């Protein structure tokens, strides 16, 4: 094997690295609270259930939890339509329950990150209720309102992510309002300084309650083009288009240059609180460019993630290399975060396995996620090797799935309840029928079936998360790719004199690659051995002796 490498920002060994903040290289466990643990037998997960399971999360060896929305909401988009940014929805519990989650997490050494949605609210938010009353009230300009065209049609051709025009008529004002998502999710006018001030106050509210950071939803949707120019058509790239949204280049309904100034204001607020962390979600055709823009040091967000892995149909060495090249280790670049699965995308092993060798794919991807440069975001259930759940049409809840069925699977299959105990109804998530069904294939993968077994997928997840946490090279070190023929992926992680070698066979046939001399195996999965060719879907992590 050639030891020629591609160097992506390797720091000279003699240069002493400064002490990294807690979030740099962190492993973050995403909790979708609606599906994590139900404590009051209503079929919906809640904050007391979450708090009761935090010992399990801490045992994984992660640094932080990210909790998806639990705020007061009509749940048209399951919490991403916020009716009160500073209150807990009763289905999840009370503010005292949230305070207990924070206290319990901190006692276990876990940081707490929560979602914040600053591009839009629910149409049941008090701000919108006031804004729609007239064109002259104090919050009249807090949302994006516009007059119709001369023929009564919407102000622009912008399309909603969830299907149909991004404009809805409101008779009280005699105007249209903008909603890039559901009609029940009107867009805030973040160009308005008063709206920005309200956002900053919301952020301070949660930081004052002990939150350690925020995952900022749909950041590039925060501002629109005030001149309301039509989006041009998107070129036909051969992909199946399931929504009108896919037929446009999104140049004017999102990604306005002034977003950067708002992010800098958010960072200023965060700087007033010790070690607060800001993580952006950025999707769309220009996600890579915008993630780098939004995280440019020193005054913007700390990190960002996109959908490069989340929407990838296949895991290839080229995909991994391309992802890393986008984030060089340079002073003018921010810090990446990576996740293979989350609440918005089908689970990775179902996308990448072709329905075969699910357990082997689960193990390989856990090791890969733990060894990439950047933050690792582990979605609940991936540590168990859960495949995408099969949700029958009559049980679908996701508005995107219902609108676009059957051309898109929607998001429900990644949101089904966490299986805790195989021998109990609904896998121990709830004693009653849950809001989404537990997939029958998930019972055998329940926590109680894997706990205490070092050879289980859960046992592996615990080892590799702790391995990452204890190794400076894996947390914050440089990454160097070795030359290797597909489907082999080989790279080193380096920090000072510390060196780790990571090898993955992303194909099904054995590779003739062998571990070079001078390395000691720390972790090996799917039959990988130091003294043998790397088997199909084999993964091996070694440390230099």
Active-site residue flag, 217: yes
Question: In the structure, what pLDDT confidence band is assigned to residue 406 with cuts at 50, 70 and 90?
Answer: low
Tell me what the mean pLDDT of segment 353-370 comes to: 97
> What residue segments make up the domains of the chain, in order of their start?
21-119+193-223+258-466
> pLDDT confidence of 393, banded at 50, 70, 90?
confident
pLDDT at 198 over 90: yes
Q: What is the pLDDT at residue 409?
A: 61
Cis peptide leading into residue 487 (ω within 30°): yes
| Catalytic residue (one of 63, 281, 344, 439) | 281
Average the pLDDT over 350-359 and give the result: 95
Asked if 368 contacts 504 with a C-beta cutoff of 8 angstroms, the reply is yes
pTM of the model: 0.94
Homologous superfamily of the 21-119+193-223+258-466 domain (CATH): Glycosidases (3.20.20.80)
DSSP collapsed to 3 states, 55-114: HHHHHCCCCEEEECCCEECCCCCCCCCCCEEEEECCCCCCHHHHHHHHHHHHHCCCEEEE
Q: What is the pLDDT of residue 307?
A: 92
pLDDT in tens, 111-168: 999 999 999 999 999 999 999 999 999 999 999 999 999 999 999 999 999 889 999 9
Smallest CA-to-CA distance from 419 within 450, 454, 460, 396 is with: 450
The DSSP symbol for 396 reads -
Beta strands (DSSP E) in 118-194 are 145-146, 167-170, 175-178
Q: What distance in Å separates the CA atoms of residue 29 and residue 57, rounded to the nearest whole number?
A: 8
pLDDT tens per residue, range 276-286: 999 999 999 89
Asked if 504 contacts 364 with a C-beta cutoff of 8 angstroms, the reply is yes
pLDDT, position 525:
98
Choosing from 38, 187, 217, 324, the catalytic residue is 217
User: What confidence score (pLDDT) does residue 402 get?
Assistant: 75
Distance, in Å, from the CA atom of 429 to the CA atom of 421, rounded to the nearest integer, reads: 8
């Amino acid at each position: 094997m050639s030891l020629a490498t591609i160097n992506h920002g390797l720091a000279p060994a003699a240069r002493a690295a400064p002490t990294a903040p807690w979030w740099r290289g962190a492993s973050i466990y995403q909790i979708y609270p609606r599906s994590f643990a139900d404590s009051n037998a209503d079929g919906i997960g809640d904050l007391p259930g979450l708090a009761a399971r935090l010992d399990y999360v801490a045992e994984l060896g992660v640094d932080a939890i990210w909790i998806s929305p639990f705020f007061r909401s009509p749940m048209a988009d399951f919490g991403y339509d916020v009716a009160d940014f500073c209150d807990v929805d009763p289905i999840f519990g009370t503010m005292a329950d949230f305070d207990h989650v924070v206290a319990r997490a901190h006692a276990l050494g876990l940081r707490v990150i929560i979602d914040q949605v600053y591009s839009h609210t629910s149409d049941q938010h008090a701000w919108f209720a006031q804004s729609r009353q007239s064109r002259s009230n104090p919050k009249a300009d807090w949302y994006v309102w516009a007059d119709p065209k001369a023929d009564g049609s919407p102000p622009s051709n912008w399309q909603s992510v969830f299907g149909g025009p991004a404009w809805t008529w409101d008779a009280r004002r005699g105007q249209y309002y903008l909603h890039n998502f559901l009609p029940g999710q009107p867009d805030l006018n973040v160009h308005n300084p008063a709206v920005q001030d309200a956002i900053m106050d919301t952020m301070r509210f949660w930081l004052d309650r002990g939150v350690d950071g925020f995952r900022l939803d749909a950041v590039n949707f925060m501002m629109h083009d005030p001149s309301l120019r039509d989006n041009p058509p998107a070129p036909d790239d051969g992909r199946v288009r399931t929504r009108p949204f896919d037929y446009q280049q999104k140049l004017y309904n999102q990604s306005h240059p002034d977003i950067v100034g708002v992010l800098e204001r958010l960072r200023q607020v965060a700087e007033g609180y010790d070690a607060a962390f800001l993580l952006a979600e950025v999707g769309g055709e220009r996600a890579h460019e915008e993630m780098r823009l939004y995280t440019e040091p020193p005054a913007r967000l700390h990190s960002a993630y996109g959908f490069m892995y989340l929407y990838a149909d296949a895991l290839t060495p080229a995909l991994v290399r391309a992802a890393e090249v986008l984030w060089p280790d340079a002073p003018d670049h921010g810090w990446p975060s990576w996740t293979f699965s989350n609440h918005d995308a089908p689970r990775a092993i179902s996308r990448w396995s072709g329905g075969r060798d699910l357990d082997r794919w689960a193990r390989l991807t856990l090791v890969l996620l733990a060894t990439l440069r950047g933050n690792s975001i582990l979605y609940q259930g991936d540590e168990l090797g859960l495949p995408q759940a099969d949700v029958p049409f009559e049980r679908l809840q996701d508005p995107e799935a219902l609108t676009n069925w059957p051309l898109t699977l929607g998001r429900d299959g990644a949101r089904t309840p966490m299986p805790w105990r195989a021998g109990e109804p609904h896998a121990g998530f709830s004693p009653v029928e849950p809001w989404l069904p537990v997939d029958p294939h998930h019972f055998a993968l329940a926590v109680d079936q894997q706990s205490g077994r070092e050879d289980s997928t859960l046992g592996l997840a615990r080892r590799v998360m702790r391995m990452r946490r204890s190794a400076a090279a894996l947390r914050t070190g440089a990454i160097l790719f070795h030359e290797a023929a597909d489907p082999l992926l080989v790279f080193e992680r380096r920090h000072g004199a510390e060196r780790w070698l990571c090898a993955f066979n992303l194909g099904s046939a054995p590779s003739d690659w062998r571990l070079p001399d001078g390395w000691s195996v720390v972790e090996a999965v799917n039959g990988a051995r130091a003294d043998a060719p790397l088997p199909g879907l084999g993964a091996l992590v070694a440390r230099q002796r």
